Structure 1
Amino acid sequence: MSQGYAARDFSPTEVHDAVQSVIARREPTLNAFWQHDAVASKAAAGESAQRWADGAARGPLDGVPVTLKENIARRGVPMPAGNAGVTPVEPTQNAPITDRLEEAGAIILGSTVMPDWGMLSSGVSSRHGITRSPLNPAWTTGGSSSGAGAAAAGGYGPLHVGTDIGGSIRLPGTWLGLATLKPSDGRVPLDNPYLGRAAGPLTRTIDDAAALMRVISQPDPRDWASLPPLESDWQTTGFDPCRARVAVLADAGCGIPTDTQVRQAIDNAADAFREAGATVVRLDPWMTPELLADLDLFWRARSYVDFAALDESARSRVLPFIQRWVTSAKDTPGTRLMECYGSINRIRERTVAATQPFDVVLSPVAPMAAFPAEWPMPWGETDEGMAHIGFTAPYNMSGQPAATVNAGFTDDGRPIGLQLSGRRFDDVGALAAASWYEQHRPAGATVDWRSYDS
């Protein structure tokens, strides 16, 4: 887009109008947006078009459409956290991400939906209803960055920002065939940082993810945990398989066993690295069912605090699945929560120790492919805890970067994502490995976006 703008082949206004036509056609089915103001975004596109005409563009994202998940603050836009029981907070200032994108001239199309409190891995929300996959409306988008994933896969422009505390960027990535990055802790400044939380890109290509990271990763003093500026320029061409030590983790050690077709796709990806000269070894799991259960209980208790603060009428409007999930933790003693906190620290310690010897660790993103859109979790309405995030959550707790890229399909056409995690703070290395695989994967592992865009 930026090359086309610079060459005067087309303008940000023309691109904006084309994207809006896609949104008008697909949004009634996909349900990706919480807030969508086409009048304001068209005005911003017009201002960008004038800057390009004047030779005063603010950079390569000037005039490029982007969406933000609804829990990323935009001044004056209410934030309901996907929850019908919550009185939406109306922020008086932007989040750092929003400020960086506005400063760069990106065209913010709107805020995308999420499930209740972001604690489901689907597009089911008590406030927003069901968000559906652009690949097949019967399939889930994944969550909690459900709207961001639907917008990315649905062609609502190239750049979309989600958040992730246990897989909420990467799970839509695997179930929608996207390229994503859960960045290192502190790499993308947040206005509300807390344990395991990160924000990052959901895009169709790794290079687009890197382009977005160049802007949103700039440090901001409002996030007391934000990292210093990255010295590199987010170039994704630096991965040399002949010099790489690559590990493969096919068994998470906890949760649901990996589906046979998912495992085969990851094995095939590992073979591609091996055949290109990488040293590839199998990695034993370091997670345990007990550690995953303690993380789940910690999150239940945290969300129960928010649930208990609502009045009775508001609590009744929360999604029934979330009501059951949080109330199961209402009598958890403080001593038990401290044990859970200790387990989180053990997850962090074990994850860093197990992965440190390797340049990149390959694994599934999730042990299963996409499930029905109406299900709140991969198993439906029953309570299986967090049995699907054994591959993703460890990297939230350790603060390590983890990218995803599509690696194949099930027999019935559902995408299968490959997760590529890097050492602590090596976000560029994780993206570079993902970019290498994206360029060298079999043709049958590539998503044919044109077939879904028609």
Structure 2
Amino acid sequence: MSELSERSTALHQLSARELSAAYAAQDLSPVDVAEAVIERIQEREPVLNAMYRFDPQDILEQARLSEKRWATGTARGALDGVPATVKENVARAGIPMPSGTALPNPKVPTCNAPITNRILEAGAVILGSTTMPDWGMLSSGVSSLHGISRNAWNPAWTTGGSSAGAGAAAAAGYGPLHVGTDIGGSIRLPGGWQGLATLKPSAGLIPLDVPYLGRAAGPMGRSVDDIALFMTILAQPDVRDYTARPYPTQDWQSTISSVSGLNVALHTDANAGSTVEPEILAAVHNVAALFADAGANVKTLDPFITQEMLDRLDGFWRTRSWADYRELSAENQAKVLDYIVRWCTIGSTFDSADTIRNFGAIDQMQQATIAATAEFDLVISPVSPMSAFPAEQPMPVVDPLATMSHIAFTVPYNMSGQPAATVNCGFTSDGKPIGVQLSGPVGADAAVLRAARWYENNRPASASPLWNTLD
């Protein structure tokens, strides 16, 4: 291996905090890091297919400007020069936003989303946009535009979705910081299936320029420390998000040495969707046992949503996508992924009263979730009831007529607006990562991340991803 290759391998593995410290000490240049990460992307992209837009020259120009700022004492903060990606549905001025579909003439935004602005204002280097499946309505990396994005642990496995490329990029070492979006698990599912630390934040905490019920954007990375550092810039108010709440300032950098006294719930029966696989169930129970052994007050949380709620929510989403699909010409309808067509066409069968009842599932799920979890500081649950499935499958259950049976643990927190993080907590017998979800009260995002960081620092070695094995 050449000296350059050895250096590149080392650099693309560095965390955001390690890079920041190295820049401040003049031990590393953002240009060196950018070159290393570009090399990494070029090496893995032919298989992983995680990037929608990737311009090495633009990356290097951003890195040169950062290098100059660090050299002249004008760095914009800890993330200046640190590589990052954003999902393709996060607006970047002048960059098309096809939302994973092969439809012609995708929207080209004239201005950046709040997230993009915050990243650029902090001086971070945007590596490009990451892939997603059609309209973000699949929990995989299958797209009519991009083809198939693949898992960095094993390309035969799904990335998860809809933040498919973001998950693969984070796991593969395309820099330390990545942004995904989530309406039912789209940050946490790729996180769980690729061993990542992620956060679906409280509703409106990270501002969006296109907000709607349940939608959130959040950080994805290899460690809780990195995503907590990322939150220092992402969780800044922006008037364009007209749904945002006036959250108090949160302390993203502090840690806890003990979880003694925390009121913790263990939730492993969703009462909806698929049954949790035995290896996943055992891994999540082990997380709860670790908290209990450290002094947390752990209780079992009974089911609080119903299959009808999940069915009706799925029905509402089908109708919403059908409304978009039916406006397309016959020629363009033929370009949408067949699975999505079959899935959303069911939405045409609901009358107006059905649609109102289906929409009402959002309120029902929100009320049930907040009421059930109100007495707890933290809820421990699986991310998904199943492990990663084949990359070519659009969904874990291949029948588009079936309800989304894999989101019963994740989607309640989209509807309730509560924060939910993921951390890797083990591996299946065939080596697939297993994620645990840690959720908390609305506005307790930093506290949830402190608990997640505590678990990450105290979990057994067998539950810790060995990222250097992906090289």
Q: How many residues align?
A: 453
Name the structure 2 match of 1:55: 73
* Residues 1:73 and 2:91 aligned together: yes
* Residues 1:210 and 2:209 aligned together: no
Stretch of structure 1 that moved more, 245-254 or 380-389: 380-389
* Residues 1:342 and 2:365 aligned together: no
Contact 2:275 2:385 in 1 (8 A): yes
- Equivalent positions of 1:137-176 (< 5 A) are 137-176=155-194
Distance 1:326 1:378, change over 3 A: same
CA distance in 2, matches of 1:318, 1:231: 42
CA distance in 1, matches of 2:127, 2:300: 43
CA distance in 2, matches of 1:236, 1:165: 28
Counterpart AA for 1:335 = A
CA distance in 2, matches of 1:121, 1:140: 9
Q: TM-score, normalised by structure 2?
A: 0.95
Given the alignment, which residue of 312, 319, 323 partners 1:305? 323
Cα deviation, residue 425, structure 1: 1.1
Cα deviation, residue 380, structure 1: 2.7
Structure 1 consecutive aligned stretches of length 4 or more whose deviation exceeds 6 Å: none
- Equivalent positions of 1:30-429 (< 5 A) are 30-85=48-103, 87-228=105-246, 230-238=248-256, 240-429=258-447
Q: TM-score, normalised by structure 1?
A: 0.98
Contact 2:49 2:150 in 1 (8 A): yes
Counterpart AA for 1:444 = S
Contact 1:236 1:435 in 2 (8 A): no
Counterpart AA for 1:34 = Y
Cα deviation, residue 229, structure 1: 5.4
Cα deviation, residue 334, structure 1: 1.2
Distance 1:86 1:328, change over 3 A: farther
| Residues 47-72 of structure 1, C-alpha deviations (whole Å, 9 max, x = no match) | 00000000110000100000000000
CA distance in 1, matches of 2:400, 2:65: 50
Contact 2:342 2:400 in 1 (8 A): no
CA distance in 2, matches of 1:150, 1:332: 36
Cα deviation, residue 239, structure 1: 6.7
CA distance in 1, matches of 2:186, 2:173: 20
Cα deviation, residue 396, structure 1: 0.1
Contact 1:193 1:223 in 2 (8 A): yes
CA distance in 2, matches of 1:170, 1:112: 16
Distance 1:239 1:143, change over 3 A: farther
Contact 1:375 1:381 in 2 (8 A): no
Cα deviation, residue 236, structure 1: 4.4
Distance 1:122 1:287, change over 3 A: same
CA distance in 1, matches of 2:186, 2:134: 13
Counterpart AA for 1:39 = Q
Contact 2:181 2:217 in 1 (8 A): yes
Counterpart AA for 1:232 = Q
Contact 1:133 1:141 in 2 (8 A): yes
Unaligned runs of 5+ in 1: none
Root-mean-square deviation (CA), in Å?
1.0
CA distance in 2, matches of 1:381, 1:62: 46
Cα deviation, residue 41, structure 1: 1.2
Contact 1:298 1:340 in 2 (8 A): yes
Counterpart AA for 2:426 = G
Cα deviation, residue 342, structure 1: 1.7
Contact 1:67 1:159 in 2 (8 A): yes
Identity of aligned residues (%): 55
Cα deviation, residue 233, structure 1: 2.9
Cα deviation, residue 5, structure 1: 0.3
- In structure 1, the residue corresponding to 2:311 is in which secondary structure? helix
Name the structure 1 match of 2:467: 449
